[in-house]
Structure 1
Amino acid sequence: MAAPKKNRSVLLGRLPLPERNHLADALRAETVGGVLLLAAAVAALIWANTPLKDGYESISTFHLGPGSLGLNLSVQHWAADGLLAVFFFVAGIELKRELVAGELRDPKAAILPVVAALCGMAVPAVVYTTVAATGGGSLQGWAVPTATDIAFALAVLAVIGTSLPSALRAFLLTLAVVDDLFAILIIAVFFTSRLNFVALGFAVLGLAVFRLLLWKGVRGWYVYVPLAVVNWALMYNSGVHATIAGVAMGLMLRCHRHEDERVSPGEHIEHLVRPLSAGLAVPLFALFSAGVSLSGGALSDIFRRPETLGVVLGLVLGKAIGVFGGTWLAARFTRAELNPDLRWPDVLAVASLAGIGFTVSLLIGELAFGDDPVLGGEIKAAVLVGSLIAAVLASILLKLRDNKYKKLCAEEDRDEDQDGIPDIYEQDDPAYHLRMAAILEAKAAEHRRLAEVASGRTTGDDGPA
């Protein structure tokens, strides 16, 4: 008697149709946000490297806000601590949705993005630490190359026009969500210098009130927006990075649908807030964080100074090796296996996109080297250079696989029976096979009719002579 075949889940397999449609909507929003982010970063670099750079510095360091509440911050800090809280709020909703309705709801499926994300953060940290320690540099920046900017990565895909299979895109999106979670933990644990326990206690109380109102079904933006601002201010004054408040409130939203609901409250609020995050918060953060001097000497110093070289190598090599290696480990030592339509070069191309750090990497760089403006500026430049190199390498790899991707996407989108549902999702439906049989029979009848017409034209309409 043959041994029973071991059940294995397909690694990067086909997504359920509702999940695929949700992913397509999310990708469109992230892609637009990534293009705006790219435009803001370019504008900041131009502004900071022209005769107008003094104006850029004056605006970035201009302080405003109520000092009595501990919120007299510079414009740059308002962008990093305030506006980015909106970005992390959306990240919290995305994470919650993945946990209850996405890839992370199934522990077996969650192994892949979790292992890939962990390896994709551990390897860059090891690369940075090794380079910095070897060159006698500071080890404070070990976390800078560990983050992935999903908006920027998806913008690269849009710009180069590559037709990725939806499952591979889903892998990149899920990987980035898990990456964001660990980046949040890194910020909370390693970049909290001193705590104000009174402010932290009130922040926790405010979050509890937020959760209670949600549980009671209270509605109205005029209730939640002021409470969210208060919670953010308390978290900022507690010494914990203020973006943690955004993540916590995002995770509290309900992201599963009731029978009488078309969308869940979390999905509805994400739909409302995402344009604010992608179209305003993140681009403004980039505008006031990416403006660093990129003179010839500064660029060459990036590859000579151990801290900056560690950031570049961590993003370009560490991320690609870590994500690809983590995926391979999951396929080798778990019950997951690679989709037969995909090849490992496809995974490597997407893994290289994870080296685009940007938003969170810039934020961690500011936190790690905030007391050294010169080194902090060089670290920002290293993040920009490393992200650019990773984007170029990923673009080359993706272009090499372009024909493969187009073929896969054409197969996924094929709809022979014209019912609006791709045929690949109906292959197990008997009604689908009946419709396809009718379509094939109609086509065969049409071919026979055309053949008879052609035969009639050959022999003559009046019959043979």
Structure 2
Amino acid sequence: MGKPLSRTPRLFGSGSWAEARRVGDVLRTETVGGVLLLGAALIALVWANTPLADSYHRLSEARIGPSAWHLDLSLTVWAADGLLAIFFFVAGLELKREFVGGDLRDPRRAALPVAAAVGGMAVPALIFAAVAARGGGDALAGWAIPTATDIAFALAVLGVISTHLPTSLRTFLLTLAVVDDLLAILVIAVFYSSSLHLLPLALAVLPIAAFGLLVQRRVLRWWLLIPLAVVAWALVHESGIHATVAGVLLAFTVPVRGRDSEHGMAERLEHAWRPVSAGVAVPVFAFFAAGVSVADTGGFGASLAQPITLGIIAGLVLGKAIGITGSAWLVQRFTHARLADGLSWWDVFGLALLGGVGFTVSLLIGELAFGIGSDGDGYAKIGVLTGSLLAAVFAAIVLRVRNSQYRKLCAQEEADADGDGVPDIYQGQRVSG
């Protein structure tokens, strides 16, 4: 049996065994996706800075789609508006599962990642605004760029440095990113959508409702669901709200709980679509979004001097570290909780630095804020790439220093003395802080 629980609330506790298993499955998929994302971004960045750069830009600007429906879009826009709708659909499923059937349904468990996500968005935004304000013009439009955490990129970093980060810290990182995605969705819908057209938005309710009715009745026939999803996406795109929001709205109609021992529809759809999101949608978007020509922005040194670039780097590296660590400390201060045994505030700081690895959503917001191909978009891409790289390096240093302690904690998590398949640390354990 597990050790008796202390009455003192613990931050970064081991949580429930069911949640730990689910998180492990998600992390394995996202880690592979992160490697593909990094590879796609690197190819695009190299291609855009070679003598063959014109062919990259021609490919990015190639337009396809029916013009009669205002869908003759460039491949770059299709990647941002179309493929990322799949990413946000999976994020929406994850959000609903976390708050309906996951550990976040418990307000005590939700307090830490929610507070960390809010702090990890607010502080970077404020730092960016303070730095970018001296640039004048439209620079402040990018205030939300450094607020996002890219879980796939972050997990790829963990894979590269081979750290034995315990499940509780990985769970926190994933949960923080999930809440981060929710806030990013709200930011995009409210601040980065164009003028609203009510008729297509009202019409979008019909396919979304039909999709919801089918999944509520446990119908998974692709030839019914996918056409409805495409029509809903097209109508939301036409309404002026960013089209990726359609993915979230569709996800929120999916029931979480299954019948008896049956897996819920949200889990089944997430299992089916997460590999598509992590392995196809996000890497393809990264390929078209990361290909910035450094020469076109005046050179790397000149770009670093731009307020937009500096604001993003400062927001990702300093803002995330301060916001996440500070929020976690405030939760500890006001709940009188203490860190789980074996952990220190250096671990929280290392995770907070890793939270500064922003990529997919940061690049998307940069395109929405400044316009694809604009100077501001170029500076934003350089800021996101540089800031994410610096945050990853600093996080790797801190987490590697602590790796011997993580190895001990992992051994405790994996210990299964009675051989029943459930680690001892999870047996007899109630869900608590």
Identify the TM-score tier after normalising by the shorter chain: over 0.9
- In the other structure, the counterpart of 1:456 is none
Q: Deviations over 1:40-62 (max 9, x none)?
A: 00010111111111110000000
- In the other structure, the counterpart of 2:3 is none
Does the CA contact (< 8 Å) of 2:200 and 2:239 recur in 1? yes
Distance in 2 (CA, whole Å) between partners of 1:398 and 1:68 is 53
SS of corresponding position for 1:256 = coil
Distance in 2 (CA, whole Å) between partners of 1:371 and 1:286 is 14
Distance in 2 (CA, whole Å) between partners of 1:275 and 1:212 is 25
- In the other structure, the counterpart of 1:51 is 51
Q: Does 1:154 align with 2:172?
A: no
SS of corresponding position for 1:139 = helix
Residue 69 of structure 1: how far off its partner (Å): 0.6
Does the CA contact (< 8 Å) of 1:307 and 1:379 recur in 2? yes
TM-score relative to the length of structure 1: 0.88
Instruction: Return structure 1 stretches of 4+ with deviation > 6 angstroms.
Output: none
Residue 215 of structure 1: how far off its partner (Å): 2.7
Does the CA contact (< 8 Å) of 1:7 and 1:335 recur in 2? no
Residues 428, 345 of structure 1: alpha-carbon distance in 2 compared, 3 angstrom cutoff: closer
SS of corresponding position for 2:175 = helix
Distance in 1 (CA, whole Å) between partners of 2:384 and 2:429 is 48
Q: Note the residue ranges of structure 1 that are not aligned, 5 or more in a row.
A: 1-5, 430-465
- In the other structure, the counterpart of 2:38 is 38
Q: Deviations over 1:416-447 (max 9, x none)?
A: 33333222233679xxxxxxxxxxxxxxxxxx
Q: Does 1:238 align with 2:246?
A: no
Q: Deviations over 1:218-260 (max 9, x none)?
A: 3411111100000000000100000000011112211223214
- In the other structure, the counterpart of 2:84 is 84
TM-score relative to the length of structure 2: 0.94
Report the identity percentage.
Answer: 56
Distance in 2 (CA, whole Å) between partners of 1:86 and 1:255 is 18
Residue 366 of structure 1: how far off its partner (Å): 0.1
Q: Deviations over 1:376-409 (max 9, x none)?
A: 1121111111111101111111111110101100
Q: Does 1:15 align with 2:15?
A: yes
Distance in 2 (CA, whole Å) between partners of 1:184 and 1:428 is 35
Distance in 2 (CA, whole Å) between partners of 1:317 and 1:383 is 13
Residues 412, 204 of structure 1: alpha-carbon distance in 2 compared, 3 angstrom cutoff: same
Residues 371, 288 of structure 1: alpha-carbon distance in 2 compared, 3 angstrom cutoff: closer
Does the CA contact (< 8 Å) of 1:312 and 1:385 recur in 2? yes
Amino acid at match of 2:54: D
Does the CA contact (< 8 Å) of 1:214 and 1:253 recur in 2? yes
- In the other structure, the counterpart of 2:66 is 66
Distance in 2 (CA, whole Å) between partners of 1:105 and 1:276 is 27
Matches within 5 A, 1:106-255: 106-136=106-136, 138-255=139-256
Q: Does 1:347 align with 2:348?
A: yes
Matches within 5 A, 1:378-389: 378-389=379-390
Distance in 2 (CA, whole Å) between partners of 1:86 and 1:123 is 29
Q: Does 1:292 align with 2:305?
A: no
Distance in 2 (CA, whole Å) between partners of 1:198 and 1:274 is 32
Residue 317 of structure 1: how far off its partner (Å): 0.4
Does the CA contact (< 8 Å) of 1:298 and 1:378 recur in 2? no
Q: Note the residue ranges of structure 2 that are not aligned, 5 or more in a row.
A: 1-5
Distance in 1 (CA, whole Å) between partners of 2:208 and 2:163 is 42
Residues 401, 371 of structure 1: alpha-carbon distance in 2 compared, 3 angstrom cutoff: closer
SS of corresponding position for 2:293 = coil
- In the other structure, the counterpart of 2:75 is 75
Distance in 2 (CA, whole Å) between partners of 1:304 and 1:63 is 34
Distance in 1 (CA, whole Å) between partners of 2:382 and 2:14 is 39
| Aligned-residue RMSD, C-alpha | 1.7
Distance in 1 (CA, whole Å) between partners of 2:216 and 2:273 is 21
Distance in 1 (CA, whole Å) between partners of 2:422 and 2:214 is 39
Distance in 2 (CA, whole Å) between partners of 1:412 and 1:80 is 39
Distance in 2 (CA, whole Å) between partners of 1:7 and 1:217 is 42
Does the CA contact (< 8 Å) of 2:60 and 2:76 recur in 1? yes
Residue 372 of structure 1: how far off its partner (Å): 6.7
Residue 96 of structure 1: how far off its partner (Å): 0.7
Structure exhibiting the larger radius of gyration computed from Cα positions: 1
Distance in 2 (CA, whole Å) between partners of 1:226 and 1:370 is 30
Distance in 1 (CA, whole Å) between partners of 2:110 and 2:251 is 20
Distance in 2 (CA, whole Å) between partners of 1:148 and 1:298 is 27
Q: Deviations over 1:244-277 (max 9, x none)?
A: 000111122112232141x211111111111111
Distance in 2 (CA, whole Å) between partners of 1:281 and 1:9 is 40
SS of corresponding position for 1:81 = helix
Does the CA contact (< 8 Å) of 1:15 and 1:166 recur in 2? no
Q: Deviations over 1:299-357 (max 9, x none)?
A: 21233111110011000100111011111111111254321221110011011011011
Distance in 1 (CA, whole Å) between partners of 2:133 and 2:426 is 53
Distance in 1 (CA, whole Å) between partners of 2:169 and 2:364 is 28
Does the CA contact (< 8 Å) of 2:342 and 2:405 recur in 1? no
Does the CA contact (< 8 Å) of 2:124 and 2:320 recur in 1? yes
SS of corresponding position for 2:393 = helix
SS of corresponding position for 1:416 = coil
Distance in 1 (CA, whole Å) between partners of 2:101 and 2:7 is 23
Distance in 1 (CA, whole Å) between partners of 2:426 and 2:194 is 52
Q: Deviations over 1:79-100 (max 9, x none)?
A: 0000000000000011011011
Amino acid at match of 1:11: L
How many aligned residue pairs are there? 423
Amino acid at match of 1:419: D
Does 1 or 2 have the higher relative contact order (CA < 8 Å, sep 6+)? 2
- In the other structure, the counterpart of 1:323 is 324
- Range that drifts further, 100-109 or 110-119: 100-109
Distance in 1 (CA, whole Å) between partners of 2:294 and 2:373 is 18
Distance in 1 (CA, whole Å) between partners of 2:261 and 2:184 is 36
SS of corresponding position for 2:169 = helix
- Range that drifts further, 6-15 or 215-224: 6-15
SS of corresponding position for 2:332 = helix
Residues 246, 371 of structure 1: alpha-carbon distance in 2 compared, 3 angstrom cutoff: closer
- In the other structure, the counterpart of 1:281 is 281
Does the CA contact (< 8 Å) of 2:359 and 2:388 recur in 1? yes
- In the other structure, the counterpart of 1:310 is 311
Distance in 1 (CA, whole Å) between partners of 2:325 and 2:270 is 30
SS of corresponding position for 1:87 = helix
Does the CA contact (< 8 Å) of 2:216 and 2:255 recur in 1? no
Distance in 1 (CA, whole Å) between partners of 2:333 and 2:298 is 46
